[in-house]
Structure 1
Amino acid sequence: MLARQRQELILTAVRATGGAKVSDLVERLGVSDMTVRRDIEALASRGLVTRVHGGATTPGSSVEEPGFAAKSGLHTAAKQAIAVAAAALVEPGASVALSAGTTTHAVASALLGTPRLTVVTNSLRVAEVLHDAARDDLTVVLTGGERTPSDALVGPVAVAALRQLHVDWLLMGVHGMDAEAGFTTPNLVEAETNRALVHCARQVAVVADNSKWGVVGLSTIATLDEVDVVVTDAGLPPHACRVLENSCRVVLA
């Protein structure tokens, strides 16, 4: 296969879902890792893709992961409303997992009004909120792992811990929501850890404001039909709401 033919196939794969991983392209094209990286570099030099760690994305797609501080001042009113609505899903005495992120950080504060909780989290900031409450009826389980820019604990240590656990609810923040790509993140390792969170929960709720719709990160955490509830705000476009409602329940805060 000629280089131009490979590059056309890579470009098609990237445009289909907003991003493609080097490992998937190696398997699909039957060439070496280095060959795929050179092809991605050639496409990037022409402005057709954006080269990222572990793969490529469409130009202008959301691939960089802002830090917690950068995100904390965005859409604050929507996040607070979403947090209250998400906390209402959790009954007293339940076990609940919280992923990392600014929206789940708000959810943690909203959950302080729910008695007798056991909370599993891979977020240091979420754990701090719950620990500072100093409640005897609140148990916090913090996974280990490596720290990301969004203050998530990720990697094999976190995944191994989560595989041993079973919770009633997962309340999960995401970087993007898309009809085709599902719920995504730009961080490949965080995606793996979040998938472990999904697998340990009986019910999964995504908490995300309307700005996340149409954003495609590098890696998919879950497809739309793998989530039970999406808690978002009333600014979500009607067509996006219809797409989500075909797969799960939508709560507009």
Structure 2
Amino acid sequence: MLAQQRQSRIAERVHRTGAVRVAELVEEFGVSDMTIRRDLETLAERGLVAKVHGGATAVDFGSTTEPGFAVKQVRQEVEKQAVADAAATLVGPGQAIALSAGTTTWTLAHRLTDVPDLTVVTNSVPVADVFYRAGRADQTVILTGGVRTPSDALVGPFAVASLEKVNVDTVFLGVHGMSLRAGFTTPNLLEAETVSTLASKGRRLVVVADHTKYDVVGIATIAALDDADVIVTDSLLDEEARRQLREHVDQVVLAPVPTAEHHGPGRQRTTSEKRA
């Protein structure tokens, strides 16, 4: 098969499924890892796909574009793992927490399955499934009802009604974007009311978002930057963005993103910066 034909088939698959992994394409086309990576680089240069760690995803086109859960799952995987590790240290036994929908909160959920006597409120089907599969009898999971979105969130009047009388210790909020002008945002108008309600139900609001979410603006605002007590992001966030966030948020936690020389058993220390 010619390279142009292979690239065309890869682009069609990304458009159809939303995401592909390098390993899957290597097996499917019977070519080397390097060949597939060159194909993805070529397609990315033409604006047909967006390269991510370990693969490629469909290209986003605006403030109302909402990729599916599988698409977002392969984006910034390393950064999300680091953010989840840091955020998990904020949870202790016997607490009641809320987790919004999203792949970062889903990654965090995997870190919390061993926390005893935990109560979890969520509007995310995948997040609830993580705890269900863990099968701990001492953990309670409350899944809201509602209409399912492309990101597997349950939203709408039923979800809002189920959250109105809930109060938790900490809300962990995943977001589509965060900016000084628009605050924390989502590309889904229907999701905005539900997530805004969820964000207001904790004594502490922790936003979990990797560095690529900064200066991204979705169509609907969930909360202002000042509403967050803590932002957990990763160490690839640039200095100017850090400064701006510290002016509005009490605590900014920078989770170290491991590099090749740090893939050993040791774990790097998380940096926590508080607003003066």
Per the TM superposition, whether the score is higher than 0.5 is yes
Does residue 242 of the first structure (1) align with residue 243 of the second (2)? Answer: yes
| Structure with more contact order per residue of length (Cα contacts < 8 Å, sep ≥ 6) | 1
- Return 5+ residue gaps in structure 1 as ranges: 1-59
Counting only pairs closer than 5 Å after superposition, residues 149-228 of structure 1 correspond to structure 2 as: 149-228=150-229
Report what 1:100 is aligned to: 101
Matched to 2:233, the amino acid is: T
Q: Secondary structure at the match of 2:151?
A: coil
Offset, 1:247? 1.5
Offset, 1:79? 0.5
Report what 1:72 is aligned to: 73
- 1:64-115 CA deviation, whole Å, 9 max, x = no partner? 0000001100110110111111111112110000000100000100111322
Q: Secondary structure at the match of 1:177?
A: strand
TM-score, normalization by structure 1: 0.75
Q: Measure the CA separation in 1 of the matches of 2:246 and 2:62.
A: 24
- 1:2-31 CA deviation, whole Å, 9 max, x = no partner? xxxxxxxxxxxxxxxxxxxxxxxxxxxxxx
Q: Measure the CA separation in 2 of the matches of 1:82 and 1:164.
A: 29
Does residue 252 of the first structure (1) align with residue 254 of the second (2)? Answer: yes
Q: Measure the CA separation in 2 of the matches of 1:215 and 1:105.
A: 21
TM-score, normalization by structure 2: 0.69
Does residue 128 of the first structure (1) align with residue 129 of the second (2)? Answer: yes
Report what 1:116 is aligned to: 117
Pairwise CA RMSD: 1.2
Q: Secondary structure at the match of 2:116?
A: coil
Q: Measure the CA separation in 2 of the matches of 1:203 and 1:154.
A: 22
Figure out how many residues of one structure are paired with residues of the other and give that number: 195
Q: Measure the CA separation in 1 of the matches of 2:118 and 2:238.
A: 34
Q: Measure the CA separation in 1 of the matches of 2:130 and 2:62.
A: 32
Q: Secondary structure at the match of 2:113?
A: helix
- 1:130-175 CA deviation, whole Å, 9 max, x = no partner? 0101101110000000000000000000000000100000001000
Q: Measure the CA separation in 2 of the matches of 1:244 and 1:135.
A: 37
Q: Secondary structure at the match of 1:252?
A: strand
